[in-house]
Amino acid sequence: MITIKSAREIESMAEAGRIVGETLALVGARAVPGVSTAQLDELAEEFIRSHPGARPSFKGLYDFPASLCTSINDEIVHGIPSARRVLKDGDIVSVDCGVCVEGLHGDSAITVPVGEVSEAAERLLRVTRDALDAGIRAAQLGNHVGDIGHAVQRVAEAGGFSVVRELVGHGIGTSFHEEPQVPNFGKPKRGPRLVAGMTIAIEPMVNVGKPDIRTLDDKWTVVTVDGTLSAHFEHTVAIQPDGPRILTAVHAPVSA
Ligand code: MG
Ligand code: MG
């Protein structure tokens, strides 16, 4: 069932989303060579919990052990932060974060370059972010979920990349994952119609090579089968009469 949120619920989601955005700005600025993904996770959890009433959505969700998902290079999503995973110059790292405030969630992800990265990696990040922007622009009242996927897919594939099929965006609210599913591919005017008060996470996962994925033995980390780089950008968006409202806008980097 697709749930419609009240104006008050959307404000709580915007509050959660603001903390998500600030957490990502903070973690993104600290993603430098020599830092472990466990250190980034610790920084994020401390920052999130410094806000009264806020908690990390991910910790304990389906028994996930951390506050962030940190996915390096060919890892697409759901990487588990670890003291043994130390960022190196030239890596790209996807950071996915969720925050819960007053029982409502915000969800957002960025992929950031670590030190100096290749031109190909930079282009992947740019195209994936553009694909997210296109998806958000398509999230207009009266459009359908398929319009979002179509817009995302068009930008990603025009850039010469492929979109992951098995993992999709989602409705979000009192539950972290709600209906509808929001695929990163699709046809215009297909799927559920977008109505005011729907809140969805739009989250393109874009691979340099083929779209195929597999899950590592840790049962969490999803990687590209062909070993090519993958990027992930995500915003939580409310469908509103005057257009999509991004609830997880990333603010300027803040200090802890
Ligand atoms: Mg996410
Ligand atoms: Mg999500």
d(CA 57, ligand 1 centre) in Å: 10
Ligand located closest to 23 CA = 1
253: pLDDT strictly greater than 80:
no
Q: Starting at the earlier edge strand, list the strands of the sheet with 75-77.
A: 75-77, 222-224, 213-215
pLDDT at 28: 97
pLDDT band, residue 254 (cuts 50/70/90): very low
Summarised one tens digit per residue, pLDDT across range 127-157 is 999 999 999 999 999 999 999 999 999 999 9
Whole-model pTM above 0.75? yes
pLDDT at 251: 54
Summarised one tens digit per residue, pLDDT across range 221-243 is 999 999 999 999 999 999 999 99
Cα–Cα distance list, 165 to 80, 139, 169, 181, 221 (Å): 22, 19, 11, 12, 16
Residues 98-131: b if buried by 16+ CB within 10 A, e if exposed: bbbbeebbbbbbbbbbbeebeeebeebbebbbbb
Q: How far is the C-alpha of 198 from the C-alpha of 141, rounded, in Å?
A: 10
pLDDT at 255: 44
> How long is the chain?
256
d(CA 110, ligand 1 centre) in Å: 9
Q: How far is the C-alpha of 18 from the C-alpha of 1, rounded, in Å?
A: 26
Task: Please give all residues whose CB falls under 5 A of ion ligand 2, grouped by chain where several chains appear.
Answer: 107, 201, 203
Report the CATH fold assignment for 7-246.
Answer: Creatine Amidinohydrolase (3.90.230)
| 3-state secondary structure at position 169 | strand
- Segment 188-204 shows an average pLDDT of 98
Q: What percent of the chain has pLDDT over 70?
A: 97
Q: Starting at the earlier edge strand, list the strands of the sheet with 162-163.
A: 162-163, 205-207, 230-232
Give the start-to-end residue ranges of the domains of the chain: 7-246
d(CA 87, ligand 2 centre) in Å: 23
Task: Please give all residues whose CB falls under 5 A of ion ligand 1, grouped by chain where several chains appear.
Answer: 96, 107, 109, 234
Summarised one tens digit per residue, pLDDT across range 96-122 is 999 999 999 999 999 999 999 999 999
64: pLDDT strictly greater than 80:
yes
pLDDT at 172: 98
d(CA 61, ligand 2 centre) in Å: 12
| 3-state secondary structure at position 154 | helix
If residue 70 lies in a helix (H) or strand (E), which one and from where to where?
strand 68-72
- Segment 169-188 shows an average pLDDT of 98
